[in-house]
Amino acid sequence: MLKMDMMVLLKFKITFVCYKIFFENRMISLTPYSIENPVEVSEGYYNKLVQMKEKGWSHCDSKEEYLAKLHYLRLGFSQGKIAKDDFNDREKKIVVGYWNRGS
């Protein structure tokens, strides 16, 4: 009986590790229409990027953060989770903020 429980537990741990490796290493294309300059990040890194909001959600410190937040915002809009006016305001803040950071 104990041997059987150990086998079930081992099988569960192996399944969990494989699941974690697969989903954490899944890549998300931040530039789905770019052929020459594709930008992809892992799902785990993507989630970290879209949750960064130290200086406000629309502030971006890197190109990857900028693209991830635009991707996240546009995905939410396409799924009907964000109203059009709110989407336009947020997209404008992200884009203008990123463009002006070099000024």
> What is the pLDDT at residue 18?
46
Question: What is the domain partition of the chain in residue ranges?
Answer: 2-100
Residue 28 carries which DSSP code?
Answer: E
Q: Residue 54 corresponds to which amino acid?
A: E
Burial of 31 from C-beta contacts in 10 A (0-12 / 13-18 / 19+): middle
Q: Read off the pLDDT of residues 46-80 as tens digits, 9 standing for 90 and up.
A: 999 999 888 888 888 899 999 999 999 999 999 99
Model's pTM, two decimal places? 0.71
Q: What is the mean pLDDT of residues 30-37?
A: 87
The helix (run of H) or strand (run of E) holding residue 98 is helix 84-100
Q: Which two tokens stand for residue 81?
A: 């989770």
Q: Read off the pLDDT of residues 9-28 as tens digits, 9 standing for 90 and up.
A: 556 556 555 455 555 568 99
Q: What is the mean pLDDT of residues 33-53?
A: 90
Q: How far is CA 70 from CA 7, 34, 77, 94, in A?
A: 45, 15, 10, 7
